[in-house]
Amino acid sequence: MFAPLQNDTFLRACLRQPTTHTPLWLMRQAGRYLPEYRATRAKAGSFMGLATNTDYATEVTLQPLARYALDAAILFSDILTVPDAMGLGLSFQLGEGPRFAHPVRDEAAVARLAVPDMARLRYVFDAVTSIRKALNGRVPLIGFSGSPWTLACYMVEGGGSDDYRLVKSMLYARPDLMHRMLSINADAVALYLNTQIQAGAQAVMVFDSWGGVLADGAFQDFSLAYTRRVVSQLQREAGGVRVPVIVFTKGGGPWLAQIADCGADVVGVDWTVNLAAARAQVGARVALQGNLDPNVLFAPPEVVATEARRVLDAFGPPQRTDGGWDGHVFNLGHGISQYTPPEHVAALVEAVHSHSRSLRRMAGE
């Protein structure tokens, strides 16, 4: 059904198999910093108009690959499609973040929640298949979802928040309601990701964007436990090929060892994490993905290259360990900023590829 994969560097690194260079992709690589993205979005009229149209979603997913030698594509979509399919009414106001028309704030609203019919998310699976075909085997396609906790944050707050007061009030005052919501979210996310895999996704990523706002203890009980519930339900193979699972908790540095035990193949880390220390701590269990500060991309290209090399040097050259090889997937520690000069991204890609090749030569690989 799909063309054979030509560049499997990303999948190999996820599975801690040897690679000739460190693969890279960028969170939100198909996005507003690209003029061609802005042109397509203008045609689509709105963010959801873009995400729900198979042709447009395919077009913007492939745009960064036309400019840069990225080692993976990621489905163009939003982390909040699942609660939208639950009937919460997702919209994006211009210049603001996502909004839910019907936030979940009381027992009755929680009682109404259920795993949505995947037919309501058909536009996502259609986009996955369309993109996979359009990629024609060039690089692997990553599918994704928000984590159960991150979805709950938006579902309760009704949008972004700077203090998470409403969702944490429910968590501390009515943990029973929160656990019920998170159970439903977890089962919905697992089904959603499995359907993406069946539609053609070659790896999947769980974005726990707001796990890092939780207290120690609460993180384990209300975020990580439900991410684990998702991962345990995932289909890990498609067409005889392993489908790696990436879990990224922004601000998850304090809990890295515990996150590495959640069943994922890859743990994403933000820029506050020292990659050498992280590798020493968890490198034999999972691959690591990250972790350049996206703000580095505002510096001149030579500084971008220096900072990219610094990230690669922090991780160090690949080494054989008990369970395989140390895997590193280069990425930012957060989505790329809409203000990023596109030519700086070219400098980043070039630096990551060339320096990671020279690290392997020095290590005698």
- Among all residues, which ones are annotated catalytic? 28, 32, 41, 78, 154
- Distances in Å between the Cα of 119 and the Cα atoms of 87, 115, 136, 225, 289 are 13, 12, 26, 27, 32
Look at the block and give the residue holding tokens 């149209």.
Answer: 53
Cis peptide leading into residue 291 (ω within 30°) = yes
Note whether 215 binds a second copy by CB under 8 A: yes
In the complex, least distance from residue 295 CB atom to a second copy, rounded to whole angstroms: 4
* 68 vs 271 by CB, closer to a second copy: 271
Distance CA 94, CA 178 (A): 30
Q: Which of 35, 163, 240, 361 binds a second copy (CB under 8 A)?
A: 163
Interacting positions 248-287 with a second copy (CB under 8 A): 251, 253-254, 271-275
Note whether 333 binds a second copy by CB under 8 A: yes
In the complex, least distance from residue 296 CB atom to a second copy, rounded to whole angstroms: 5
Which residues, at least 6 apart from 225, have a Cβ–Cβ distance to it below 8 Å? 182
Stretch binding a second copy (CB under 8 A), from 27-35, 74-82, 136-144, 168-176: 168-176
Note whether 172 binds a second copy by CB under 8 A: yes
**Residues 266/10, Cβ–Cβ less than 8 Å:** no
* 101 vs 257 by CB, closer to a second copy: 257
Note whether 219 binds a second copy by CB under 8 A: yes
Note whether 178 binds a second copy by CB under 8 A: no
Note whether 154 binds a second copy by CB under 8 A: no
In the complex, least distance from residue 278 CB atom to a second copy, rounded to whole angstroms: 9
Note whether 164 binds a second copy by CB under 8 A: yes
Note whether 214 binds a second copy by CB under 8 A: yes
Neighbours of 173 (CB within 10 A): 10
Note whether 323 binds a second copy by CB under 8 A: no
Q: Which of 310, 320, 323, 363 binds a second copy (CB under 8 A)?
A: 310
In the complex, least distance from residue 215 CB atom to a second copy, rounded to whole angstroms: 4
Stretch binding a second copy (CB under 8 A), from 62-70, 75-83, 237-245, 298-306: 298-306
Return the structure tokens found at 155.
């579902």
DSSP 39: H
Look at the block and give the residue holding tokens 């990553």.
Answer: 142
Return the structure tokens found at 179.
């656990």
Q: Which of 20, 46, 169, 232 binds a second copy (CB under 8 A)?
A: 169
Distance CA 297, CA 310 (A): 14
* 41 vs 168 by CB, closer to a second copy: 168
Stretch binding a second copy (CB under 8 A), from 19-27, 48-56, 303-311, 320-328: 303-311
Note whether 300 binds a second copy by CB under 8 A: yes
Distance CA 208, CA 204 (A): 13
* 43 vs 165 by CB, closer to a second copy: 165
State the DSSP string of 282-298: HTTT-EEEEEE-GGGGG
Note whether 212 binds a second copy by CB under 8 A: yes
Distance CA 56, CA 258 (A): 39
* 237 vs 313 by CB, closer to a second copy: 313
Buried b (16+ CB within 10 A) or exposed e, 299-335: eebeebbebbbebbebbbbbeeeeeebbbbbbbbbbe
- Distances in Å between the Cα of 93 and the Cα atoms of 99, 102, 115, 291 are 8, 15, 26, 30
Distance CA 115, CA 183 (A): 10
The site for a second copy (CB under 8 A) is made up of 163-165, 168-169, 172-173, 212, 214-219, 251, 253-254, 271-275, 291-293, 295-296, 298-300, 303, 307, 310, 314, 333, 337, 339
